[in-house]
Structure 1
Amino acid sequence: MHRKRKIIFGSLIIIFNLLISTFLNFTSFAEKDISINNINSTLKQEKLCIIFSHDIHSNLNGLAKAKTVINQVKEIYPHPLILDGGDFSMGTLYQTVFQESASELKMLGALDYDITTIGNHEFDYTGIGFANMLNAAKNSSKILPSIVISNIDWEKSLSNASASKEASKIKKAMDNYGVKDYQIIKKNGLKIAVFGILGKEAISYSPTSNLIFEDPIKCSNRIVKEIKNNENVDMIVCLSHSGTNENPKESEDEILAKKVPDIDVIISAHTHTKLEQPIIIGNTVIASCGKCSHNLGVMEFTLNKGKVNLDNYELICLNGNISSDKTILGELEKIKKQVQKSYLEQFDYKFDQVLAYNPYEFTPYVSFAERQQEYPLGNIIADSYIYAVKKAEGENYKKIDVSIVPSGVIRASLNKGNITVSDVFNVSSLGIGKDGVIGYPLISCYLTGKDLKNTAEIDASIPSFMPESQLFMNGLAYTFNPNRLILNKVVKAALEPENGIYKEIEDDKLYRVVTGLYTTQMLTFLDEKSKGLISVIPRDKNGKPIENYEDHIIYTKNGELKEWVALASYLESFPKENGIPVIPEYYSKTHGRKIICEEDSIIALIKKPNKIFLALVVITTLLLCFMAISITAISRKIRSKS
C-alpha cells in the first residue's frame, strides 16, 4: 500500500511540474580529423561546392587554417560558394576593435567569403555599434563579403517612437554597406539565391538592436515566393541564424524546412550545433558545423533539371594537422597590435601575457548545461568578483555577502596549462559598459534575505529549461532536491560558514551583493518569465529598488571594474612557483556551495512546502474537482437521454 501511495504521489508531482512548466512557457560530439579526400574530383557544370561556417565569435586564429582548407578545395572546385551563418563577432580580444576596425568582416573577405548574415551577437554593442562596424568595413576599401538579412521590419522599426533615430542610423549604414534581403550569385554557370533570417530565439537575444523583426517563417515564405517569381535560379539557400534543437517543437530550422519546403539548403547557425551528418527534411538539407572556427563545412551538390542532390557532406576539423596560411597570420598580427594599443593598454595588460598556471582540468563550460551542480570554474569566477572589489575599494571596502555569476556570461573555460590575458578575456567576453568600453562591469547592489532564497530557488529550478540561468555563487550555500516540484526544490539555504558555522538568512535583512551588469538585468527578466511567481529585486543600500543599474557600477583607477579584469587580477594574486602564479588546490574540487539531494520519498518531496507549492496544490485540486464535476454532469446527461 505504501509503495502504491508513493507511485501515485510521484505521478502527481510530475503533473504539477508539467502544469507549472506550461505556465512559465518556458550537442556535444567528439571532434575528429576529417580530410578533404572524399571531395569529388570530377568537375562538371552542374556541380556546386558550398563551403560554410557559422558562430565564429571572433575566433580569428582558426581562420588561418580555414584559408588553407579553402585553397585546397579550390584546387578541385575553383569557384566554391563560401557562406557564413552569422555571429561572426563577440568572443575573443579581436572583438574589441569591432566598431573601429570591423576585423571580423575584413577577415571573412580575406578568406573569399561570398555572403554572411547577421546574428544576435552582432548587436552586442547596440545597434549603433553595429552601424559603426558596417561603416568602418565599408570605409576600409578591403574586399568584404555581402550581407543578407530579410526579416528586419523597417516600417515598424523606423516608426518606433523610442528607437526610430537609432534605427535610421542602422538603416543608413546597412544601405551604405549594401545589405540586401537576398543576393543572386553565379557559380560555375549556376544561379543561386541566398537570403538570411534572424530566428525567434536570436531575436529575443537582440534587445539592444532597437530593431523590430518580422516572424522568420512568414518572412521566408514571402522571400522564397519573390525569388521563385522573379529570379530564374537553380538553388535557394537560407543563412538561418535560428538553429536546431533536440526538442522538435523548439528546433527552429527543422520547422522552417517543413514550413518553407522550397528552400534547398539551410545553413543553420545560433545553437552552435555540430551535425556530423546533415538533417534532411523533404528536399531541404540542414547543415551545421559547430562554433568558434573549430570546423569548416564542405558540401557537394549536383543540380540537374530543377533537382538538387547532395553528393557529399564533410566537416573538416581545423586542428593542428592543418598548416596556417601565412598571409592570414600576418593580418592577425596587425589586428593584435590594434587591440593592444586601443584596448589592453588601458588595463595594463598584454595580449599573450601569462597570468597564471592551471594544474587542473576544469569542466568545460559547455558541459554546464548537462547537469545543474557546483563547478570549480564557476567558483573561481565568483570568488574573483569579491577579491577585485576588495582591491578596488581598499580602506572603503564594505563587506560583500554574496557574489553571483550566471553560466550564460561564461563563454570559455580555463584550460590546463598557462592562462593568458587572451584566455581570461574569452571567459568573460560579453557586453559593454556605460563607459563605452568592451566588457560588462561589476555592480554593487543589495538583496533581501528573501531575495537570496529566491535566487537559490531560481538556480535550482530554472536551468532545467533555461541552462544559461544556472548560477554560481560565493557566500550562499544551499541544498536542493531536483525531484521536487519546480520553484519548490530548495530544502535548505544559508550563508556560507565563517569559522565552520553556517549563518541563518534573515528574510528582511539587506545583504550586499556583487555581480555583473547583465546579471542584474537577467534577474529582472527571470521575474517576468516566472509570471511573478518568484522575484529577485536588486536594491540600493537603503532598500529602494534600483531603477538604473549603471549608477551602481564599481570603479577602479582605470575606470569601470570589468568582469574579465576581476578574474585576471585574482589569478595574478595566487602564490607563485618559478615566478608564475599557480591556481591553488582549493579549485581542484567543489566546496558544498550547491548540494544535490535526490531523495524521492513522499516526505522528502513535500516537506517545507513554499507558497508556490501550496498555491499549485489548490489550483490542481480545483482543476481535478472541476473535471470530476464535468464528467459526472456529462454522464448524467447521457444516462437521461438513454
Structure 2
Amino acid sequence: LLHTNDEHSHLIGLGPEVDDFPTPAAAGAGIKGGASRRSVVLKAERDAAKSAGADSLTVSAGDNMMGSLTQIAATTVSPDYRSLKLLNYDITTLGNHEFDYGPAGLAAIIGAAKASPEGVPNIVASNIHFAGTTDASLQALYDVNNTDSSKPIHGKFVITTPSGIKVGFIGIMGADAQAVAPAAAPTTFSLPAGATTDNRVAVLAQIFDDVQPFVDSLRRDDKVDLVVALSHSGADLSNEAKSEDIAIAQNVSGLDVIVSGHSHSDFPAKLYKNLHTNKDVLVQQAGRFGDQVGRIYLTVNGDHSISFDMANSKLIPVTDTTAPSDDAVNTLVGGTVQALESAPIPGQTLSFMQYTLGEILAPAAPGALAHTGDYYNYPVATLPFDVDNSSKFQETELIDLITDANLAAANSPLLGITTDLAAEGYGATRVPALRKGLTGKLGFADLFAAVPLGGSPKTGTPGYPLCRFGIYLAEVKAAFEVTAGYAYTGHEDFFLVPSGFKFQYDTTRAAFNPNGDPTDRNNGRVVRIWQLKPAALAAGTYDGPDATTWDLKFDATLATPAAPGLPAGWLDNPLKLVRVVATYYIASFATFAGVKLKALHDTMPTLADGVPVPGNDPAATILKRPAALGGTEIKEWESLAAYLHAQGTVPARYNKADPAGAIPRRAICIGANSTAAAGGNCSK
C-alpha cells in the first residue's frame, strides 16, 4: 500500500512556491513535495513492487484540497481530484476540508472532475449522513452499498489486485475532524442523538458503531482478504492515548490497516492489538502536503492471516532531489495557474487573480500579465527573514502578523470605524512559516497558503470573510480562557492569539467553568488582560511597553474592587462592549461555544450597538467594503496581503531572531508551568 494524506492542494512544491513555479527548483533548494515529484516517487515504488512480484495500491486519507492558491479553481478545474487520477490513486476519502465550500460545493468539485479527461477518483465515506435538503446534490453522488458504479462516493469499496487479492476499503471522518467542519452542515457524520461534536468521547464511540457494519459486510458479503480504513481521524506518537486512529484500531474489529490522516503527523508504521479479536492492526500516517509517501508492505497468507513487513514499511521523503518530470501533471498545474490568471470569473470580465490583486492594491492595478505565474507569484512585500509558525500551544510571529493585519483592515480609514480586538486560532494558519526562499520576496501564492481556508456563507466565494461584532469584556476573558484551558486538552487548533489586547494565564489554576460566574476573578486561568491605549490603536502600534501602550483591564490578584460597582479584579466594566474582528470561522465557533454576538451600529446600521445579532448568525456580521468600493467582503488573505503591501518590507517585529520579534508578548504563560516565571510559554 502506497499512501499520502492531507495533500491540501499543494500541487507545487513547498518552501516557497515562488521558488518552484514556473521554473522548478534545482536539487538542494529546500523544496518539499509537489505533485509531479510525488508522481515520480510513486512510480518508482510501484515499479519496485512489481519487480519484487508484489501488487500495489495507492490511496489517500483525505483533505486532498484546501491549502494553496490552486484550490480556487476547485469548482471549475478540480485540479486536486484530477491530479489524484493522473498520479494513479486507486481511492481516497473525505476529510473535513473537502467541505470548506459546503456540500453543494463539494458536489460541484466532484462534477468538474468527472467531466474532465482524467475523471474523478473513487471516494469512500462510511460514516456520512445526509439531510437531503441543501446537501441533496452531494447525496445524489453517494452509493452506500457499493452497488452503483456510476456514483463516485461509496459507503464501502472493493478493489481486486492483479493477483486476485480482494481489498476492502472504508472511509472515516474522525471526531475532531467533524468538529472542525462547520461548513459541512446540514451533512453530519457520527453524531449520537442529543450530543454535539465537541463531545469527542461520545462521537468516537458512535464512529465505532457506524463503521463496524461496513467492515462486517466487507468480510461477510464481499469476502475480502484485507480491510483498509482510510481514516481522517489522527495519530500522534507524542499523544497515543488521545489518537483517534489508535482507538479505532483497538475498537473496530476486522480491520487490518489504518491509513491515517488529519493530524499532519509523521507516524511510522506501528501495530496495535484489537481489543475484540487480539489481531494486529497497522497504523501509519505520512506527514502532510504530499511531502512524504507512505509505504506499507504486507502479505496475505493462505490461511487468510496478514503478515506485516515492518522493516520495509516506512515514510519516503519527497524532496527536490527528485526532478518533477511528470509532463501530464506539470501541464495540469500550469493550466490551473493560467486559469486563475486569465479565465474570467463567471459573470465578470476579470480573472480571479486580476480581481483579487485589484482589491489588495487599490487604487493601483497589478499591470499586464507578461508570463504565466506573474500574478500567481505577485510580489506582495520584501521578506528578509522567515516568519515562524512552527510551535503548537504558543503564540507565533505568523499569528501575530495575521491578527495585526485583520485589526488594521477593520480600522482602515476607508471604513471610517474603530475596532478594538482581532483574534485568530492556530488551526486556521496552514504553513509552518512564511519563507523568504531564494527571491527574498513574498509572493501572493505563498501568502495565500498561510490563510487559505473556507468560503462565504453569503456569496459562496472562496475564503473566510472577516466578521465584525461586539462582545462583552467578560466574554473577551472567556475567549482567552479557550487558549488557557480548552487548547491544552488536545485542541491546539483553538489556541487563540489577539491583536489589540494581550493577556497572561497560569495553567496551574483550575480551568474556566463556563457555567460559573464569568466575572469571578477566580474562575479560570486568565489572570491579567490589557487593552491597547486608544492612541496606540489609532497609530497602528500593536506592541510596546505597558506604560505607553497598554491599559490594564483585569487583574485576578486584586481582591478589592477598583471602583464602586466593579467586581473584584476588574479595572473596567466587564459588560463594556468590545468591538471585535475575526474570520467567519472563528465567529462561528464562538456562537457554537455559546457566545451571543452583539450588533455594532456602524456596520449594522439597522441595529443599535449591543443588541443581539438576529439569530446569533455570524453571517450577518460579515465586514464589507464601502459601497463606493464595490461593497465586497473582505477576505482574510486580502487583509494580510494589503497590510504587508502597505509595509513594503515585512517589519522586524515578526522576525523570531530579532529582539523586536521576541514572543510571547500577547498570550503569555506565567507560573510554575511557564518556561519563564515572569512570562513565557506553558510546558503543559
Shorter-chain TM-score category? 0.7 to 0.9
Q: Which amino acid aligns with 2:579?
A: R
* Preserved contact between residue 478 and residue 492 of structure 1 (Cα < 8 Å): yes
* Preserved contact between residue 37 and residue 326 of structure 2 (Cα < 8 Å): no
For residue 218 of structure 1, the aligned residue among 200, 204, 209 is 209
- Distance between the aligned counterparts of 2:379 and 2:673, measured in 1? 48
Matches within 5 A, 1:231-380: 231-245=222-236, 246-281=238-273, 282-305=279-302, 306-311=304-309, 312-327=312-327, 328-340=329-341, 341=343, 342=345, 343-348=352-357, 350-365=375-390, 367=391, 369=392, 371-372=393-394, 374-380=395-401
Can you list the C-alpha shifts for 1:475-522, whole angstroms capped at 9, x where unaligned?
112222222222222222121244605324432332322221111112
* Preserved contact between residue 286 and residue 293 of structure 2 (Cα < 8 Å): yes
* Preserved contact between residue 507 and residue 673 of structure 2 (Cα < 8 Å): no
- Distance between the aligned counterparts of 1:70 and 1:128, measured in 2? 32
Q: Which amino acid aligns with 1:399?
A: T
Percent identity between matched residues is 26
Cross-structure match for 2:45: 73
For residue 550 of structure 1, the aligned residue among 613, 619, 635 is 619
Q: CA deviation at 1:137?
A: 1.6
Pair 1:319–1:196, CA change in 2 (3 A):
same
Matches within 5 A, 1:423-462: 423-433=446-456, 434-462=458-486
* Preserved contact between residue 261 and residue 283 of structure 1 (Cα < 8 Å): no
Cross-structure match for 1:503: 551
- Distance between the aligned counterparts of 1:526 and 1:213, measured in 2? 20
Cross-structure match for 1:494: 530
- Distance between the aligned counterparts of 2:93 and 2:549, measured in 1? 55
* Preserved contact between residue 278 and residue 313 of structure 1 (Cα < 8 Å): no
* Preserved contact between residue 106 and residue 143 of structure 1 (Cα < 8 Å): yes
Cross-structure match for 1:586: 653
For residue 478 of structure 1, the aligned residue among 499, 503, 515 is 503
Q: CA deviation at 1:332?
A: 0.5
Can you list the C-alpha shifts for 1:156-180, whole angstroms capped at 9, x where unaligned?
x3xxxxx422233212133553322
1:112 aligns with 2:133: no
Q: CA deviation at 1:248?
A: 4.5
1:414 aligns with 2:405: no
- Distance between the aligned counterparts of 1:219 and 1:599, measured in 2? 43
- Distance between the aligned counterparts of 1:410 and 1:400, measured in 2? 22
Pair 1:286–1:561, CA change in 2 (3 A):
same
Pair 1:461–1:196, CA change in 2 (3 A):
closer
Can you list the C-alpha shifts for 1:254-306, whole angstroms capped at 9, x where unaligned?
22222234211111112222113434433211111111111011222222211
- Distance between the aligned counterparts of 1:134 and 1:494, measured in 2? 48
- Distance between the aligned counterparts of 1:381 and 1:582, measured in 2? 15
Cross-structure match for 2:668: 595
Can you list the C-alpha shifts for 1:537-589, whole angstroms capped at 9, x where unaligned?
44434101223322322223362110011000111111xxxxxx321223231
1:427 is paired with a residue of what secondary structure?
Answer: coil
- Distance between the aligned counterparts of 1:595 and 1:236, measured in 2? 47
Identify, as 1 or 2, the structure richer in helix: 1
- Distance between the aligned counterparts of 1:57 and 1:380, measured in 2? 23
1:97 aligns with 2:73: yes
Pair 1:545–1:136, CA change in 2 (3 A):
same
Can you list the C-alpha shifts for 1:333-359, whole angstroms capped at 9, x where unaligned?
001112223422211262111212222
2:176 is paired with a residue of what secondary structure?
Answer: helix
Pair 1:478–1:74, CA change in 2 (3 A):
closer
Q: Which structure: larger Rg? A: 1
* Preserved contact between residue 253 and residue 268 of structure 1 (Cα < 8 Å): yes
Q: CA deviation at 1:83?
A: 0.7
Give TM-score, length-normalised by structure 1.
0.77
Unaligned segments of structure 1, at least 5 residues: 1-49, 158-162, 528-534, 575-580, 605-642
Matches within 5 A, 1:605-624: none
* C-alpha RMSD over aligned residues: 2.4
- Distance between the aligned counterparts of 1:274 and 1:112, measured in 2? 23
Unaligned segments of structure 2, at least 5 residues: 13-33, 144-149, 191-205, 274-278, 346-351, 358-365, 367-374, 513-523, 537-547, 554-571, 602-608, 656-660, 678-684
Q: Which amino acid aligns with 2:245?
A: D
Matches within 5 A, 1:15-34: none
Q: Which amino acid aligns with 1:436?
A: G
Q: CA deviation at 1:525?
A: 2.5
* Preserved contact between residue 110 and residue 143 of structure 1 (Cα < 8 Å): no
Matches within 5 A, 1:35-54: 50-54=1-5
Q: CA deviation at 1:184?
A: 1.8
- Distance between the aligned counterparts of 2:188 and 2:424, measured in 1? 30
Pair 1:593–1:120, CA change in 2 (3 A):
closer
- Distance between the aligned counterparts of 1:354 and 1:280, measured in 2? 49
Q: Which amino acid aligns with 2:37?
A: K
For residue 115 of structure 2, the aligned residue among 139, 142, 146 is 139
Give TM-score, length-normalised by structure 2.
0.73
Larger mean Cα displacement after TM superposition, 554-563 or 429-438: 554-563
Q: Which amino acid aligns with 2:187?
A: L
